[in-house]
Chains A and B, each alone.
Chain A
Amino acid sequence: MSDAKPNWPTELYDLLRANGVTQFAYVPDAGHKVLIDRSLADPEVHSIPLTTEEEGVAMVAGADLGGAKAVLLMQSSGVGNCINMLSLTQGCRFPFLTLVSMRGEFGEGNPWQFPMGQAVEPVLKAMGVIVLRAEQPSDVITCVSAALTMAFQCRQQVAVLLTQRLIGAKKF
Chain B
Amino acid sequence: MAKLNKLQSASLPDAVLDRRQAVPALIENPDDFLMVAGLAGTAWELSALTQESPRLFGLGGAMGAAPMMGLGLALAQPKKRVLVCTGDGELLMNVGALATIALQNPPNLTIICVDNGHYGETGNQDSHTGLGVRLDVIAAGCGFPVVHVINTEADMAEGRRLVREGGGLAFILLRVKEGPATHEGKKNLVPHIERDRFKAALLG
Within B186-204, which residues are at the interface with A (CB < 8 Å)?
Answer: 191-192, 194-195, 198-199, 202-203
Residues of chain B within 8 A (CB-CB) of A88 are 59, 61-62, 65, 191
Residues of chain B within 8 A (CB-CB) of A49 are 100, 103
Residues of chain B within 8 A (CB-CB) of A59 are 68-69, 71-72
Q: Is B1 an interface residue (CB 8 A)?
A: no
Partner of A67, one of B59, B69, B77, B192: B77
Interface size on B, residues (CB 8 A): 36
* Structural contact, A51 and B99, CB atoms closer than 8 A: yes
Residues of chain A within 8 A (CB-CB) of B73 are 62-63, 65-66
Whole-angstrom distance from the CB of A132 to the nearest CB of chain B?
23
Whether A85 contacts B198 in the complex (CB less than 8 A), given A65-B69, A65-B76, comes out as no
Residues of chain A within 8 A (CB-CB) of B65 are 57-58, 61, 85, 88
Q: Is B150 an interface residue (CB 8 A)?
A: no
Partner of B76, one of A54, A62, A92: A62
Counted as pairs of residues, one from A and one from B, with CB atoms less than 8 Å apart, the total is 117
Whole-angstrom distance from the CB of A80 to the nearest CB of chain B?
15
Whole-angstrom distance from the CB of B159 to the nearest CB of chain A?
24
Complex Cα distance, B59 from A87, in Å, reads: 11
Whether A68 contacts B72 in the complex (CB less than 8 A), given A91-B61, A92-B192, A93-B195, comes out as yes
Complex Cα distance, B196 from A65, in Å, reads: 9
* Structural contact, A61 and B96, CB atoms closer than 8 A: no
Q: Is B104 an interface residue (CB 8 A)?
A: yes
Interface size on A, residues (CB 8 A): 32
Complex Cα distance, B5 from A159, in Å, reads: 44
* Structural contact, A55 and B76, CB atoms closer than 8 A: no
Complex Cα distance, B103 from A65, in Å, reads: 21
Q: Is A129 an interface residue (CB 8 A)?
A: no
Within A66-118, which residues are at the interface with B (CB < 8 Å)?
Answer: 66-68, 70, 84-85, 87-88, 91-94
* Structural contact, B96 and A66, CB atoms closer than 8 A: no
Q: Which residue of B lies closest to A88 (CB)?
A: B62
Residues of chain A within 8 A (CB-CB) of B96 are 50-52, 55
* Structural contact, A61 and B94, CB atoms closer than 8 A: no
Residues of chain A within 8 A (CB-CB) of B57 are 65
Residues of chain B within 8 A (CB-CB) of A58 are 62, 64-69, 72, 94, 97
Residues of chain B within 8 A (CB-CB) of A91 are 61-62, 191-192
Complex Cα distance, B62 from A58, in Å, reads: 9
Whole-angstrom distance from the CB of B111 to the nearest CB of chain A?
13
* Structural contact, A51 and B97, CB atoms closer than 8 A: yes
Q: Is A60 an interface residue (CB 8 A)?
A: yes
Q: Is A23 an interface residue (CB 8 A)?
A: yes
Q: Is B75 an interface residue (CB 8 A)?
A: yes
Interface positions of A (Cβ within 8 A of B) = 22-23, 46, 48-52, 54-68, 70, 84-85, 87-88, 91-94
Top-3 shortest CB links A-B: A66-B76, A62-B72, A51-B96
